[in-house]
Chains A and B, each alone.
Chain A
Amino acid sequence: MSKLVAVYNDDRKLMQAAEQLKAANAPVEEVITPFVIEELLEKFHVKSNIPLLAFFYGLFGVTSVFAALYYTFVISYPLNIGGKPNLSLTFPVLMFVGTVLTTVLTTVVTFFVQTKMYPGKNPEFAYPGINDDKMLVLIDKADLTPDVETKVRQIFETTGAEKIDEV
């Protein structure tokens, strides 16, 4: 599987290229950047459902931590602590902390599942500078017809790509 790779070192140049590629209907497979370029996501309508999922994880966290606390402190092992009621005002502290923990862990797991990542996985794609300050545009050559390819290469050249490469 061979890929066409354009390397950029400036996000403004990358944005220009992205706009022109979109206008030319080029089959861009992936864009790899060292930081989040929100305009890029917005322009290409890449929407993540993680915020919504995180909200439901939060709800799940609140109810489950409350249920666990209720079970232990009220049903299973009610203790008289200084005459305070078993269902007490101290619950919110643990509920707050437990909710944050549940949400964070489940969100991370969701992220790994959605991106098909796991610790120790071999990289699907590697290129010098990919973990540095370089921004990469990847296009699968199988998707490209010759005349589209010349056009794409031309776009890369005119927008100031540092390097155009094939892997």
Chain B
Amino acid sequence: MKKRFEFSKKLKTISFVLMLIGLITAVMAFAADKHRFWTNILYSNYMFLLLALGAAFWMSLQYIAEAGWSSAFKRVPETIACYIAPAFIFMLALVFFGLKYVYPWANPEEHIEDFSKYHEFKEILDVKAPYLNKNFFIVRTLVFFLVWFATVGILRKLSKKEDADKSGALKWFEKSRFYAKVYIFGFALTFIFAGFDYLMSLEPYWYSTLFSIKEIISGFFHASALIILIVYFLNKKAYLPFMNSSHWHDFSKYLFMGSILFAYAWYFQYMLIWYGNIPEEGEYYFLRRFHFSQFLFTLNIAINFMVPFLVLLPNKLAKNPKVLVTIAVILLGGFALDVYLSVFPPLVHTFKGMSEQHIHPVFGLYEIGILLGFIGIFMFVFFRNMAKRKHVIPVNHPYIEESLLHHNAH
């Protein structure tokens, strides 16, 4: 039972094949259309970065709530958070080489075709220049990742020390509890600005103070889905043999709660902008609903709210791991769609063969290939770091027995 995760050859091959596909399509995309290439790098990388941070948030929540049921698989969110390292590399690449292809404020000439609009646009950019400029953007990226590396790193280090310490690990648990609070505070504070920088500044003329809150909630919600998927996989591979319906039920409560929270965040931003009826604000949703795709816009809320809410409502379905994992996979698709609707609509007009007058959803070989590549990188990073730890199930965690014997009455 207390065994080490084995990064099997099959998994290695799968992740390398995915990475290879990603590399080939990335090279093709780079040669064909640089705008599209960098947009895709931002899209895929941001998605996994948010999942990694959301998973660390999930783990911190378990610490500060002193939750016992989840301690046996706390390795999973802990290891998902390792993706912050590759995310840093891709963000740095984007910041240094791709900034002008993606962010309109870095290169206004190329992003605005209509000359009459250009002056108005430039005026807004001049006002925002003290914040939205290349140097400050680089500094902020470094600060964000420094904070995330430090806080998540401390939590991981404490977890390792806890495993090595045979004398009774309450000391490390207490420390982890403290640093979980530090992480949540640091994450909330930095991600507010990271959301503004990485996604909201794709449309520098638009702003919403609620934007990053929605992203944080979405990250937490969809990270729970990813954790469920991986726990299910590890359970199938007999690394977590103790899982019973109570564990799955508690997981499904996370998805259920997350779906309501996501819908709430989606709705408060949409409703306030709709009701305020200010052209500068409404532009964001006008672009997505009426110019880009009404169907995808509606599908987003349907997948991320209606599906988990309605399916997980009956008690029996909520306890069934197969149903739960299906919902988790659908939700990860929903997450891809949600981020897609944030990133692509303002940028598709810069792609080859598109113009500002007729934009439509673009999801072709490059998008799928690069996304698969990132999935491969994520798998590789996750499984490699999982294999590095001595045990899949933590050994000295104070709540480990409670987690193994977890039982809910209903």
Contact = CB atoms under 8 A, between A and B. Distances in A.
A147 B287 CA distance: 82
A39 B409 contact: yes
Contact of A89 (B275, B408, B409, B410): B275
Nearest to B315: A51
A49 interface: no
Given A38-B410, A39-B409, A41-B409, A89 B277 contact: no
Interface of B: 267, 270-271, 274-275, 277, 313, 315, 408-410
A143 to B, nearest CB: 27
19 contacts: A38-B408, A38-B409, A38-B410, A39-B409, A41-B409, A42-B409, A51-B315, A55-B313, A82-B277, A83-B277, A84-B275, A89-B270, A89-B271, A89-B274, A89-B275, A90-B271, A92-B267, A92-B271, A93-B271
A90 B275 contact: yes
Interface residues of A, number: 13
Contacts, number: 22
Nearest to B267: A92
Contacts of B267: 92
Interface in A1-21: none
A84 B271 CA distance: 12
B68 to A, nearest CB: 15
Contacts of A38: 408-410
Contacts of B313: 55
Contacts of A92: 267, 271
A162 B88 CA distance: 63
> Interface residues of A: mostly helix, strand, loop or mixed?
helix
B276 to A, nearest CB: 9
Contacts of A42: 409-410
Interface of A: 38-39, 41-42, 51, 55, 82-84, 89-90, 92-93
Contacts of A83: 277
Contacts of A41: 409
Nearest to B314: A55
Contacts of B274: 89
Nearest to A36: B409
Nearest to A43: B409
A91 B277 CA distance: 17
Contacts of A89: 270-271, 274-275
A112 B252 CA distance: 31
A34 B267 CA distance: 41
Contacts of A82: 277
A80 to B, nearest CB: 13
Nearest to A38: B409
Contacts of A84: 275, 277
Contacts of B271: 89-90, 92-93
Chain B CB within 10 Å — which of A55, A89, A90, A93 has the most? A89
A93 B263 CA distance: 12
A83 B274 CA distance: 12
Nearest to A37: B409
Nearest to B275: A90
A55 B275 CA distance: 31
Contacts of A51: 315
B250 to A, nearest CB: 14
A39 B274 CA distance: 50
Q: Would you list the 6 A-B pairs with minimal beta carbon distance, nearest first?
A: A38-B409, A42-B409, A89-B271, A89-B274, A41-B409, A82-B277
Nearest to A88: B275
Nearest to B409: A38
A90 B271 CA distance: 7
Contacts of A39: 409
Nearest to A83: B277
A38 B408 CA distance: 8
A83 B275 CA distance: 10
A35 to B, nearest CB: 13
A39 B315 CA distance: 18
Nearest to A55: B313
A83 B276 CA distance: 11
A144 B389 CA distance: 61
A92 B49 CA distance: 32
A84 B277 CA distance: 9
A82 B276 CA distance: 9
B319 to A, nearest CB: 14
A83 B277 CA distance: 10
Given A51-B315, A89-B275, A90-B271, 9 more contacts: A41-B409, A42-B409, A42-B410, A55-B313, A82-B277, A83-B277, A89-B270, A89-B271, A92-B271
B51 to A, nearest CB: 28
A23 to B, nearest CB: 21
A29 to B, nearest CB: 22
A41 B409 CA distance: 8
Nearest to B270: A89
Contacts of B277: 82-84
A51 B316 CA distance: 13
A93 B408 CA distance: 33
Contacts of A90: 271, 275
